[in-house]
Amino acid sequence: MTTTARASVQHEDDRVRVTRWDFEPGQSTGRHVHAYDYVVVPVTDGLTHVVTPDGTVSASHLRAGQSYARPAGGEHEVVNAGTAPLAFVEIEMKGQ
């Protein structure tokens, strides 16, 4: 099994990028910085660990259909810390 989650860009234009992320248990997005404000829409319930550059780990319980938004600039890695596959859709707002 690979350690990197599968990212599938579903739509991209000059205003938004929509990416579906699919993770097996233990898989990760890899460390990254968000260039744009974004919304996450969980497709499945699951548990993630969000790891910041200083090594801080925060647990987050995702619920299918319960969206959340974050501002640009965040740097982290997201890991599927659960025992089942996990999926969410990330919508990045690139601007007008």
**What was the pLDDT predicted at 2?**
54
Domains of the chain, with CATH numbers? 6-93 (2.60.120.10)
Which band of pLDDT confidence, cut at 50, 70 and 90, is reported for residue 95?
Answer: confident
Query: Quick check: 28 and 35 in contact, CB under 8 A?
Result: no
Residue 46 has pLDDT above 50, yes or no: yes
Distance from C-alpha of 75 to C-alpha of 50, rounded to nearest angstrom: 10
Helical (H) or strand (E) element with 38: strand 37-42
| Global model pTM greater than 0.85 | yes
pLDDT in tens, 63-79: 999 999 999 999 999 99
Helical (H) or strand (E) element with 15: none
Q: Which residue has the tokens 């990760």?
A: 28
